[in-house]
């Protein structure tokens, strides 16, 4: 908590800190997930609610600074999820907005009776130390951000502290890569950035040291706010192994910025610092 308070003091005392707020719409199509979720809906009725396709996510709100950011959106079915990167920590906050249907309330222990849905309005927070705000983690470690939509949004609009680094590691949006790639696989990153102080990515190609393609990202139709370039549209494709020597598309994603402008610094609610907040190493 001491580090977090110090960050707030620096931002306030500096007075010159700049922030840009963006509203974002995204669509994620996970082709691996389709085979066990969507195939039971065939023939497709055309109703987006019955399919993983045709359901753009949003609205998502981002506030971006040079070395800090905030991402907020409906990333959980029953909660408003917010992430902050303060320069020293990634803070995750879930505020429950509705009760889960009984069939979705799972037991903490397999075979035990299902638990209760969290109370509407309740808050759950986690603080993870980080010097660059990277939400990805290696094999056998759970990512800080759990969904492809969260990581895709971060990559397009909030990844500048990572891509500006000397040896950036780009997380793949779908964590299934941890199953498809052998342990110890070495990834290579080819990154092109906007030439400004923020330095968001224009294009990214992630592959293995054997030349196998894992991810492609492209930004299009940029605009400039406060001297920083932001993509107005962005696209991503993630690939996975199929057998020993073949590859196939795993996930496609596209996003667009619907509003952008100068903003005030993001504020972190006091309930994040209450006793009982989880802390992750």
210-219 per-position pLDDT tens digit: 888 899 999 9
Choose the weakest-confidence range: 17-21, 39-43, 174-178, 195-199: 39-43
Give the C-alpha separation, 82 to 79, whole Å.
Answer: 10
C-alpha 88: how far from chain center: 18
Mean residue pLDDT of the chain comes to: 81
3-state helix, strand, coil in the chain (%, to 5): 20, 40, 40
- In this prediction, residue 175 carries a pLDDT of 84
**How confident is the model at residue 266, as a pLDDT?**
92
Say what the pTM is: 0.81
Residue 15 pLDDT more than 60? Answer: no
Which neighbouring-strand residues pair with 188?
207
Q: Which residue has the higher pLDDT, 64 or 174?
A: 64
pLDDT (tens digit per residue) in 110-164: 444 455 667 787 888 999 999 999 999 988 888 999 889 999 999 999 999 999 9
Q: Domain limits of the chain?
A: 18-279
| Tokens, residue 48 | 């987006």
Phi, psi of 60 (to 5 degrees): -115, 140
CB contact burial 204-224 (16+ within 10 A = b; e otherwise): bbbbeeeebebbbbbbeebee
């Amino acid at each position: 908590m001491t580090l977090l308070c110090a960050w707030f003091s620096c931002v306030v005392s500096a007075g010159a800190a700049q922030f840009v707020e963006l509203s974002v719409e995204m669509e994620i199509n996970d082709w691996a997930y389709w085979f066990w979720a969507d195939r039971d809906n065939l023939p497709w009725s055309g109703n987006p609610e019955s399919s993983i396709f045709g359901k753009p996510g949003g609205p998502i709100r981002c506030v971006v600074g040079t070395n800090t950011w905030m991402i907020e959106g409906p990333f959980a079915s029953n909660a408003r999820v917010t992430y902050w990167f303060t320069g020293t920590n990634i803070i995750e906050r879930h505020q429950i907005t509705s009760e889960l249907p009984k069939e979705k309330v799972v037991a903490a222990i397999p075979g035990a009776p299902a638990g209760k849905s969290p109370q509407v309005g309740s808050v759950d927070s986690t603080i993870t130390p980080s010097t660059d705000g990277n939400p990805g983690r290696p094999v056998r470690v759970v990512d800080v951000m759990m969904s492809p939509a969260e990581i895709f949004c971060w990559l397009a609009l909030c990844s500048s502290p990572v891509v500006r680094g000397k040896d950036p590691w780009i997380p793949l949006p779908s964590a299934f890569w941890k199953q498809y790639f052998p342990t110890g696989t070495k990834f290579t990153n080819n990154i092109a950035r906007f030439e400004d102080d923020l330095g968001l990515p224009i294009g990214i190609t992630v592959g293995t040291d054997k030349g196998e393609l894992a991810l492609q990202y492209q930004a299009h139709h940029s605009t400039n706010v406060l001297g920083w370039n932001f993509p107005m549209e962005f696209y991503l494709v993630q690939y996975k192994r199929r057998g020993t020597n073949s590859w196939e598309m795993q996930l496609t994603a596209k996003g667009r910025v619907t509003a952008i402008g100068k903003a005030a610094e993001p504020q972190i609610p006091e309930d994040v610092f209450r006793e009982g907040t989880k802390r992750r190493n």
